Structure 1
Amino acid sequence: MMFNRRLQSSEADLWLDLYEKSTERSLQNRDAARTYLNSPNAVTYVTMLDNTPIGGTCVMRDPTRLAMLLSAVAIDREHRDRLTYSLVKSSLPFFRTVAIRDVDALVCKEGHPSLGFPYGIEQEPWIHDVLLRAGFKDEQELTYAQVDLDESRQRGVGLSLKPLSHLEPGRELVWEVGRKTGLANSATWTSLHFAQDLGKLYAVTSGEHIIMLTSMHLLGSKMIVGPVVHDSRNVPVESAAAAILGDAADRGADEVVLTMVGEGQRDLLDAFRDLTGSMDTREVVLMRKLL
């Protein structure tokens, strides 16, 4: 007999142990993962088969878009073909409500996700067909990119990224830029709220206005950068890229990972490539299920 059980916040380590056991991905930072799972918007399930845990999911509510994000799916390899569909379906709302209108998910087009949970919230390629069966549709493509820092190519721009304690002052900018660039999704909003919980939001301001916003997590020598939104009237794309590279270099990083670049941000990718000399990219599919 198989059933899903919703976990309490005190059971975060049970879910994390199951995640590491059931996927090819390792946890990047267990303390950060606990913070993610203990968010009041996080809903975690463990799937039991004959009283043995075989998998689990994490779904994050997105009150900004009135939606949800399927941010993690883990299931033992021997049960994937037979039980993943049931695991996913039983973790999602059955119908539309006032608070939840749709569910988003990110899926790698090929290869394994490069980052583990909680910084990497895209699913492995084999889950794509399962999500199609569950009612998801391909919405658009995002890009994941990695660049090596080369200080000889960085150009100073006079922009300074400062810590931002709360997302609210930047909300209008995220909405405005997100709609234009393909970042108006629940992966963007939940990522930024997670960064807020960890104290990893950074912004450039002009007077009382935020003109650039992103998240930056230093993990070893790797700087993990979340959605990048900037007011192109005040912050040229080259200046936005140089500000991130300069901050990463100042903090001892030798690699920058852009986890989520929208379809309308090809110029941002070009700017990073021009400033560093090379770039590795992979495509990620944003899928959406309307309720």
Structure 2
Amino acid sequence: MVTTGTGTDETAGERRRLINVAYRLLGSLAEAEDAVQEAYARWYALPRSRREEIVSPGAWLTTVTGRVCLDALGSARARRERYVGAWLPEPLPDRAGQGYGAGLGNPGDPADQMVLDESVTMAFLVVLESMTPAERVAFVLHDVFRYPFAEIAAVLGRTPSACKQLASSARRRAEDARAPVTAAGRADVVRRVKQAWETKDIAALVGLLDAAAVMTADGGGRAGTVPHPIEGGARIARYMAAIAGRAPGLELLERSVNGTPGLVARVAGVVTTVASFDVADGRVTRIWVVRNPEKLRPWTREGLDPAVRSASR
């Protein structure tokens, strides 16, 4: 992945792509930013003569970012064993699609540099979490970003053939995470869930939830939530209705979450919950709820833009 040389000016333009790679590998925007920062630090630590020998600084940075992420994935498993409750990837807002116009975005904010597609849906990221670190790196770099296995081998320290096998194994797991319904169909179901949730209509919620639906919530020990997944549409419906009853002033907004229709809950203008949904045959099969405030930082501007609120009505 490292070849021969140009100057360093073009490295600044690589940041967006590197953030996108690192987020898909790590499932955390904050950790992705740290990994990219580390890659840039190593780049600028090289002697000037060495940097000038590298023809593709972007390829060099990708290799280093991949290696940093690989190390982070290894240590993340130990950290997540100590995590309070279920761990979920950090949800991302869609700036462009939700009233964030010119002047509202911050070029330095990693959330503003994310490309949202099916490779960042919550369903997809949860499947990535089930892979080994090497499988995840091989799969994301090859299947999502189209890097050849010869270059991935430089990241993983394995042969191209071994990297191909890793990606193939990961691909079989990822097939189940492909979006089964259209965006419009998913949005309609999520909208009806919102309406039933607001009115605490348990019967309507049960009708919208698959009988075998599962809700997983991530509070990280920083926000109250169920410590274990709730299984069964009827149980989830009763839980959702109970939450609405205990949260006066709760405001539910339809928002794109990781590129698919989701819901955001606000209390007194502050985002407290972001929910993602998986839908099949017109019913919700999975709900992922993130309440850990550390993971909701990219959503803090939700309460600052009145155009966003009016657009959601």
Q: Fold match, TM over 0.5?
A: no
More relative contact order, 1 or 2 (CA 8 Å, 6+ apart): 1
- Normalised to the residue count of structure 2, the TM-score between the two structures is 0.25
- Normalised to the residue count of structure 1, the TM-score between the two structures is 0.26
Higher Cα Rg, which structure = 2
Higher helix share: 2
Higher strand share: 1
